[in-house]
Structure 1
Amino acid sequence: MDTEKCGPDHIDVLDKKITALSDALAHLGKGESLKELLRIIRFPGYTTPAEFAFTASILDGMAMQIRLLETTGEHLLAAAKQVGQQG
């Protein structure tokens, strides 16, 4: 994690970080890898009980991470809105 200091270009730094994160989330939201996973799980022999347990557990963990990202983003936006605004 970056421990950058607030300097004269701090807005540019935040802009780049926010844009990069937004782009990454938009790309993630396309779900291409999960569409491929939907295809794979239909192959004959998928899944053994162990594969089912691993897959279900990982999917549950990914869903929890998405909910955490959504909540964290909502909290960040709510906090940002509390900052004084230029009038």
Structure 2
Amino acid sequence: MPKSQVRKKKVYTPPTDVRPAAAADSKKPSPIWLPISAVTLIVVGIAWLVVYYLSSQEYPVAAWSYWNLAVGFGCMVASLGILSRWR
């Protein structure tokens, strides 16, 4: 029985003229306002909810009733959206 030939695999090298545009943007650092605003939104959201519960639903805005929960949690969700852009 004849011996089979050993196949040599070629190493893949991507073409140099085609590069994704996102690779150039990913090396820039985040602006300083990004983590500051995200932490601020988290603190504001938590403070809003704490004040709402400790005041027996009278403050921050009594007319909004349960929409105060949406404001507090909305601030925290917005901060998560901002933090997803942090590098």
Normalising by the residue count of structure 1, what TM-score does the alignment of the two structures yield? 0.37
| Greater RCO structure (CA 8 Å; 6+ sep) | 2
Going by fraction, where is helix more abundant, 1 or 2? 1
> How does the TM-score come out when normalised to structure 2?
0.37
